C-alpha cells in the first residue's frame, strides 16, 4: 500500500521485485525533472581500486619474502653439500675403503680440495690423487667460496687412513646474496 501511494504522489514506478530501494526512473509531476535511482548492487570504482591496490602490495611483499627465503635456502644447500662431501671423505678414510683406482697402490687417504671459487672435489690419494667427485656450487656463480677475503683458512682438507684426524683443518666460507655460511673442520676431523 505504502509503495503504491508513494508512486502516485511522486510519479516513480516501483520495480517488480518489490525491493526497498528499487525505482524505475521517470519524470515526476512536480518539476518535470528526471529522477534516476538504481539498485545498490556492485562495487564503485574507488572500492575496486582500493582492493586491487591492497592485493598488489601484499603480493609484492610475499614475492620478495619468497625470493629472500629461496636464496637463503640455496646458500644453506651449498653449505650442506660441502659438509656431506667432507664427511664422505672422512668416512671413507676411517673405513679404509680402497677404490679400484688404487688397486695396486697403497691408500693414503681422501682429500677435499677447493679448485676455484665455485668448484670443489673429493679425491682418493694413493701414489697420486685421483678425483672421484667434482661439485660445482649452485646458482650460476651467485654462491662462491670466499677465498680472497682471508675468511677461508683452508682450501685443502686431507683425511688420512689408519691415523684419525685431519691435515688442513680450518674454516671454509661460502658467500652469496649478501649472506655467509661457514663450514669448519677441526683437528680431529669433525665437520660443522
Residue 130 is assigned to a structural domain of this protein: yes
Looking at the structure, do residues 178 and 83 belong to the same domain, yes or no? Answer: yes
The residue among 174, 114, 115, 183 whose CA lies nearest residue 143 is 174
Terminal-to-terminal C-alpha distance of the chain: 86
Residue 43 is assigned to a structural domain of this protein: no
Residue 146's domain spans which residues?
Answer: 48-185
The residue among 27, 44, 45 whose CA lies nearest residue 35 is 27
pTM of the full predicted structure? 0.71
The residue among 149, 181, 190, 186 whose CA lies nearest residue 77 is 181
Looking at the structure, do residues 89 and 160 belong to the same domain, yes or no? Answer: yes
pLDDT tier, 103 (very low <50, low <70, confident <90, very high otherwise): confident
> Which whole number is the average pLDDT over 158-165?
87
Looking at the structure, do residues 14 and 65 belong to the same domain, yes or no? Answer: no
Amino acid at each position: 500500500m505504502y509503495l503504491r501511494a508513494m508512486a502516485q504522489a511522486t510519479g516513480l514506478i516501483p520495480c517488480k521485485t518489490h525491493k526497498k530501494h528499487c525505482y524505475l526512473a521517470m519524470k515526476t509531476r512536480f518539476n518535470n525533472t528526471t529522477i534516476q535511482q538504481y539498485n545498490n548492487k556492485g562495487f564503485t570504482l574507488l572500492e575496486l581500486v582500493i582492493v586491487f591496490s591492497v592485493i598488489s602490495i601484499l603480493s609484492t611483499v610475499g614475492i620478495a619474502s619468497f625470493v629472500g627465503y629461496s636464496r637463503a635456502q640455496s646458500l644453506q644447500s651449498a653449505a650442506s653439500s660441502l659438509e656431506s662431501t667432507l664427511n664422505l671423505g672422512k668416512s671413507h678414510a676411517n673405513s679404509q675403503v680402497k677404490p679400484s683406482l688404487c688397486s695396486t697402490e697403497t691408500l693414503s687417504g681422501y682429500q677435499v680440495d677447493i679448485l676455484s671459487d665455485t668448484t670443489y672435489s673429493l679425491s682418493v690419494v694413493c701414489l697420486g690423487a685421483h678425483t672421484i667427485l667434482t661439485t660445482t656450487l649452485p646458482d650460476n656463480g651467485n654462491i662462491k667460496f670466499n677465498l680472497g677475503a682471508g675468511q677461508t683458512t683452508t682450501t685443502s682438507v686431507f683425511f688420512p687412513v689408519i691415523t684419525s684426524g685431519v691435515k688442513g683443518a680450518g674454516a671454509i666460507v661460502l658467500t652469496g646474496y649478501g649472506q655467509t655460511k661457514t663450514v669448519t673442520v677441526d683437528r680431529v676431523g669433525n665437520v660443522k
